[in-house]
Amino acid sequence: MSTQRYLVLHDYGMGGLWWWIRAGSVREVRETFAEVEVVDDPAAVARAEGWGLDEVDIGAATLPAGLDDLRATRVEQRALPGFGALADRQVLFLRQVGDDEPVTYLMEVGPDGRRIRQVEVAEDGTGIRSDADDWLMNPPVVDLFDPRLPDREIDREEFERVWAAARWESGR
């Protein structure tokens, strides 16, 4: 199988780790490493050419720090039911409970794991809706191969019902 060089990013919130990875496809990269994004924006790829990034083959026995952990995570996930079950979806609707706040997020997510629309539902049931026009940044928020993801899936009707009842965060 022929390989191609891909620019790969692991965005950890306050920054990111970058690598060049040689693989047969974008899907192969995403199946092999947890929580990564294959960056295909030509301007970003051109900028990265001068960064001196590590370049590795996807099947290399030894990987750069950080990338090795992402592969190990993926190896563990492969053994779990639900691994990759949502990976080929074009649109996905999810429920995520806030970590530190009594809030629930309903999200419409695209095939790259980025939010399209979101409703933040408070304990009292009121909702605030937002979309890409409201977000300064919109990195991938979910890894579509994650085996825990199917348990968070909701149907489109539930999302649309909550979306319609919510008000815009920005006052639109």
**Residues 166 and 119: beta-carbon distance below 8 Å:** yes
Task: Give the other-Cβ count within 10 Å of 71's Cβ.
Answer: 15
Residue 33 burial (10 A CB sphere; 0-12, 13-18, 19+): buried
| Spans of all domains in the chain | 4-78, 92-168
**Residues 18 and 53: beta-carbon distance below 8 Å:** yes
Angle at the Cα of 155 from the Cα atoms of 150 and 159, rounded to 5 degrees: 115
19 half-sphere exposure, CB direction, 13 A CA radius: 21
The whole-number pLDDT of residue 171 equals 67
Detail the DSSP E strand segments found in 14-153.
Answer: 16-23, 37-39, 55-57, 92-97, 103-109, 115-122, 127-131
With tokens 């191969």, the residue in question is 145
The whole-number pLDDT of residue 102 equals 85
**Residues 121 and 127: beta-carbon distance below 8 Å:** yes
Residue ranges for the chain with pLDDT beneath 70: 170-172
For residue 130 the two structure tokens come to 């937002």
Rounded-to-integer distance, Cα 169 and Cα 86, Å: 29
Nearest Cα residue to 20 out of 32, 38, 41, 33: 38
The whole-number pLDDT of residue 87 equals 95
Angle at the Cα of 94 from the Cα atoms of 120 and 80, rounded to 5 degrees: 140
